[in-house]
Structure 1
Amino acid sequence: MNETRPPLWTRNFIGISISNFFLFMTFYFLLVTVPIFVVDHLGGEKSQAGLMITVFLISAIIIRPFSGRWIERFGSRVILLCSLLLFFGATLLYFLADSVGILLVVRFLHGIGFGMATTAAGSIAAMTVPHSRRGEGMGYFILSTNFAMVIGPFLGLTALQNWGVNAMLQIAAGSAFIGLLSGLLISLKEEKKMRGNLPPMKLKDAIFEVKAIPIALTGAFFAIVYSSILSFVSVYAGELGLSHVASYFFIVYAVVLLLSRPTTGKWYDLHGPNFIVYPAIILFAAGMVILGTADSAVMFLTAAAFAGLGWGTLFPTFQTIAIQASPPKRAAMATATFLSVFDIGIGLGSFLVGLAAAKVSLGDLYTYSTGYVLAGILLYYFLQGRKLRKEKRKEINAA
């Protein structure tokens, strides 16, 4: 039976996965080093260092809806290559940034390239993955992002601390360049047949994909909690006296993802999204309560494993739902809609968690987040799960 399954690891899929990895590795590489660069080398304030991240995300969020429309008009490959070229060019501009003001402009341009590239990459991945293996394929594709999240910060801090600013920027530029080269491997001949003169559409349809909004809002809801891990888990490790294992948190997270991805992806394709979403939410909640009550390295890393199984399964599942809920020709806009709303959740979460952390301890905050995550079961059910259950029943009855 496996012999008749359509191939997944095609040249296009491998190319877009590699390109996506280096795109996000550059992003995470600079995410942890730019604030240090601003404070230690440009003499900026900590508030200005935080602004560098905000400006980058704002430009990425703003450009994504336009990117989705451009992809529909000009094709995913064209927009991907243009955006990767812009992303690489902006990375080179960091060498010229000798003031906070100039660096803000560079970060804004870099965010535009990033927003366009991530939208195009998601669209190409959805296009190249066989429909019958959509859950499995998108899971592997997003795994490239997860690995970048682990390797990027580690390599960035290592380069800055041991080799200096120039070496750090050279590695970032090299990573962006490899991402561009990988994009050149992609050939989408079938895309030309799908494209044509686009009919006029309403403004709301040109800005976002309506059918992707329910699952995008669900993703943003959970992203608020995930942002607390991204932003404060290393600080929390220090408070626990576990700084020596903080860097291993996302390594355990990524390893668990790698081991679970083949199974969860196949379950998605065989049984549908609901089969894995509800258990994943519970696992994510378990990870938060373990993290909030951790008093040893074992518990701290166990929380990483549960978070990897939980949130690491939810994110690719939600993005796949967004794409499948939309017409094939709107895959790019569905991707743009999902990622834009998700990034708003990350940005809002980082702000809210920062405010909350001033009132309660991080341990209590993570523990309280458990109830919030479990409440997401109801949100998912009413916004998406109920509809998917009805569609699954129709499929079963039709068969």
Structure 2
Amino acid sequence: MERLWTKSFILMTVGTLFLFNAFYMLYPTLPLFIKQMGGNETQVGLSMGAFMLTSVLVRPIVGGLLDRYGRRPFIVWGLLLFILAMYLYNWIGGIVVLMGLRIIHGISWAVSTTSISTAVTDMIPSARRGEGMGWFSTSMTLAMAFGPMVGIWVIQDLSYHALFLIAVVLSAVALLLTFGAKMPFRPQEGTRRIELFERSVLPISSSIFFMFVAYGGITTFVPLFAESINVNSGVFFLAYAATLALSRPLSGKLADRYGEAFVIVPALIITIVALICLSFSTGLLGVLISAILYGIGFGSAHPAIQSATIRLAHPDRKGVANASLATVTDLGIGLGAIMLGWVSQYTSYSFLFMVSAVMVVFSMLAFIFFVKRSLITEELQNTSING
């Protein structure tokens, strides 16, 4: 069996852990920062959504460039801009300026994360793609556990100034780690047209979009919801991420053995149940149960969908495929944050999470009707070729 745990894979995975820690430190704290500046729920949603929607515009361009010019230049420049954006939060004085910085930050996020995930995809043996993506995704999961808790602790015991400086240091460490990784890529020659979207992953994109609309609501409004019922939002993110960390490697192996469809549909059903549970939560117990269920459901579905996306794409177009996946992901999170911001302002957090559950129902239906058959057909073809 081909080796998965190479030096380069480890360095990139650990670097991603540091980068996502910096990123997730802001997720539960930035909505509180905006509220402290005098913003309302709609402005919170717009600020979080502006970040992701900017990524939507940038990622398709980056994906095509990655397949032509390689991964490393975009990793370096993307992370440098990300570090600069993190530092500039210290100088924010109003909502309008914050919106502008969120756009710059979104550009840096699109460039750095698209290039990093594509470079890691190159390093993973095809026979162990589900397992490899599961372990790589676990670095993001651990960041989901530690980032929100550290972020909340820092603003409670120190300051927002300290929060942004710590995020700068973590991002800089991520950049330094990537320099030690070898990236197995040979830039394309000639003047081949740069593609902005991988058409073969269009059907699965609809399922991904709805799943991440719900995710946008969770990551943006759980901190405010938890505060409204006197629960520390860090508890939700810790329980969610710990469960997700345990489920992802196992679900990746199951996807490699039985196919992605075997994992995705049950995982989405569990995700729906988690969001319904959160909608009815009034205290710590309900929040913990919903976090655990969401960690199992979303934690199993996400790497399986990543693996399925790469399986359906052409081997020479992994950069575009990764960018397409990330673009739809960011679009879902961005529009979810904005749309659900309006929902929460005019209704309630309970109704917001119920709407999120409906979005995951749409995700499951889209997968069953548009994607499942294609995956099964592709798996049967591979089995016959290998046999």
Q: Same fold by TM-score, threshold 0.5 exceeded?
A: yes
Deviates more, 1:261-270 or 1:321-330: 321-330
Partner residue in 2 for 1:217? 206
Q: Does 1:315 align with 2:302?
A: yes
Matched, 1:175 2:170: yes
In 1, distance between residues paired with 2:67 and 2:82? 21
1:1-399 pair list within 5 angstroms? 5-37=1-33, 40=36, 45-46=39-40, 51-97=46-92, 102-188=97-183, 190-191=184-185, 194-201=186-193, 206-239=195-228, 241=229, 243-244=230-231, 246-295=233-282, 297-358=284-345, 360-367=347-354, 369-370=356-357, 372-397=359-384, 399=387
Name the CA shift for 1:83/1:393 in 2 (closer, same or farther; >3 Å). same
The Cα shift of 1:115 comes to 0.6
Quote how far apart the aligned CAs of 1:282 are. Answer: 1.6
By how many angstroms is 1:96 displaced?
4.6
Secondary structure, aligned partner of 2:231: helix
Q: CA deviation at 1:24?
A: 2.0
Tell me, in whole angstroms, the C-alpha distance in 2 between the residues paired with 1:94 and 1:354: 22
Taking the aligned partners of 1:225 and 1:29, their CA distance within structure 2 comes to: 20
Structure with the bigger RCO (C-alpha within 8 Å, sep 6+) is 2
Rounded Cα–Cα distance in structure 1 between residues aligned with 2:155 and 2:232: 20
CA distance in 1, matches of 2:118, 2:21: 19
Query: How many correspondences in the alignment?
Result: 385
Contact (CA 8 Å) 2:59, 2:114: kept in 1 or not? yes
Gaps of 5+ in 2: none
Identity percentage of aligned residues: 30
Check whether the contact 1:17–1:141 (CA below 8 A) recurs between aligned residues. Answer: yes
Using structure 2 for the length normalisation, give the TM-score. Answer: 0.90
The separation in 2 between residues aligned to 1:37 and 1:369, in whole angstroms, is: 24
Q: Distance in 1 between matches of 2:133 and 2:56?
A: 22
Partner Cα separation in structure 2 for residue 39 and residue 369 of structure 1: 23
Give the aligned CA root-mean-square deviation in angstroms: 2.5
Aligned partners of 1:213 and 1:338 also within 8 Å: no
| 1:136, distance to aligned residue in structure 2 (A) | 0.8
- Which residues of structure 1 form unaligned runs of 5+? none
My pick for the range that moved more, 205-214 or 310-319, is 205-214
How far 1:178 moved relative to its partner? 0.8
